[in-house]
């Protein structure tokens, strides 16, 4: 299983970007999918997730500004980022939780836990200029 993230770049504060993550797996629709980010010198943190059933969850810092979605026909998950600010500058990572791996975490409602995901993409850099 491979995850290929794309769509990062340089954007001005207040602007928007859309990240994409393509998965090479036949059972994509059954995967928990998430986005995490890591700023220089900081821990990797949860941004958003979408479950196989379609429910979505967000970190408080991005709620109301970011939208996660998935297209199971294209094996792709997206992160639409609006009203970007300098604090959103990070490397963004796409992550996938295979059904057997992630189900225990999802049962505990821990979709924001890095351990719920067993496949990670390479990261894409988002830089927001003020």
Q: Along the 130 residues of the chain, how does pLDDT read in single tens digits?
A: 899 999 999 999 999 999 999 999 889 999 999 999 999 999 999 999 999 988 999 999 999 999 999 999 999 999 999 999 999 999 999 999 999 999 999 999 999 999 999 999 999 999 999 8
Instruction: Specify whether the CB–CB gap between 109 and 52 falls below 8 A.
Output: no
Instruction: Specify whether the CB–CB gap between 124 and 8 falls below 8 A.
Output: yes
Task: Check residue 54 and give its pLDDT.
Answer: 87
Q: Within 10 Å of residue 27's Cβ, how many Cβ atoms?
A: 13
C-alpha 5: how far from chain center: 9
Task: Check residue 44 and give its pLDDT.
Answer: 97
Task: Check residue 90 and give its pLDDT.
Answer: 98
Listed in sequence order, the residues at least 6 apart from 8 whose beta carbon sits closer than 8 Å to its beta carbon are 17, 19, 91, 92, 124, 125, 126, 127
Task: Check residue 109 and give its pLDDT.
Answer: 93
State the pairing for strand pair 124-129/9-12.
parallel
Closest Cα partner for 93 from 40, 53, 34, 36? 36
Fill in the DSSP letter of residue 121. -
């Amino acid at each position: 299983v491979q995850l290929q993230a794309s769509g990062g770049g340089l954007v001005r504060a207040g602007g928007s970007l859309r990240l994409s993550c393509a998965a090479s797996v036949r059972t994509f629709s059954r995967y928990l999918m998430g986005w995490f980010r890591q700023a220089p010198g900081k821990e990797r943190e949860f941004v958003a997730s979408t479950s196989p059933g379609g429910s979505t969850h967000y970190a408080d810092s991005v709620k109301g500004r970011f939208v996660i979605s998935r297209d199971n026909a294209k094996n792709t998950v997206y992160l639409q980022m609006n009203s970007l600010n300098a604090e959103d500058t990070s490397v963004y990572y796409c992550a996938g939780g295979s059904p057997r791996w992630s189900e225990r975490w999802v049962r505990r409602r821990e979709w924001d836990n890095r351990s719920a995901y067993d496949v990670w993409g390479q990261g894409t850099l988002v830089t927001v200029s003020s």
